[in-house]
Amino acid sequence: MEEKSFKKLTVWQKVYKFVLNIYKQTQKFPSSELYGLNSQIRRASVSILANIAEGSERQYKKEFVQFLSIARGSLAEVETYLMLAKDLGYFKEEDFIELEEQRKKIGRLLRGLYKSLS
C-alpha cells in the first residue's frame, strides 16, 4: 500500500521552495530586525507549510479544509510583511518580484485546493 504524503502535493512543494527563498532573502535584513520583521515573516511562511502538511494528514476532509484556511491566512500575513520589507528597503526590486510571483502562485494553488475540497 502506497503511503499518503503531503510532500506529493504541488502546493506543499511550491511553499517549501518559497520558505527556503524567504530564509535566503531575510538573511540580508539588518540585524536590528532579527526579532522583528525577520522573525515574523519567517514564522508566517513556515506556518503556511506546516498547516498544509498537518491538514493533509488529518482524518477528515473538513479538517484539511480548515488547515488550508489557516494557511491562506498565513499567506496574507506574509504578503503584508513582504510589502513592509520592500517599503523599508530590505529587498532588491528583483528579489521582491520573485517572492511576489511565488506568493501569488501559491495563493492560486491554495484557493484551488480549498475549493476542490469544500
Domain ranges of the chain: 6-22+33-117
Q: Does residue 31 come out as left (phi exceeding 0), alpha (psi in the -120 to 50 range) or beta?
A: alpha
Q: How far from 114 is each of 11, 69, 90, 102, 111, CA to CA, in Å?
A: 11, 8, 32, 18, 5
Residue 1 has pLDDT above 50, yes or no: no
The CATH fold of domain 6-22+33-117: de novo design (two linked rop proteins) (1.20.1440)
For 52-91, the pLDDT digits (tens) are: 999 999 989 999 999 999 999 999 999 999 999 999 999 9
35 Cβ contact partners less than 8 Å away, ≥ 6 residues apart: none
pTM over cut 0.75: yes
Residue 97 has pLDDT above 50, yes or no: yes
Residue 2 has pLDDT above 60, yes or no: no
26 Cβ contact partners less than 8 Å away, ≥ 6 residues apart: 38, 41, 42, 85
Q: Which amino acid is at 6?
A: F
For 6-39, the pLDDT digits (tens) are: 999 999 999 999 999 999 999 999 999 988 999 9
Q: What's the pLDDT score for residue 64?
A: 95
- Spatial distance between the Cα atoms of 2 and 104, rounded to a whole number of angstroms: 32
Report the 10 Å Cβ neighbour count for 10: 11
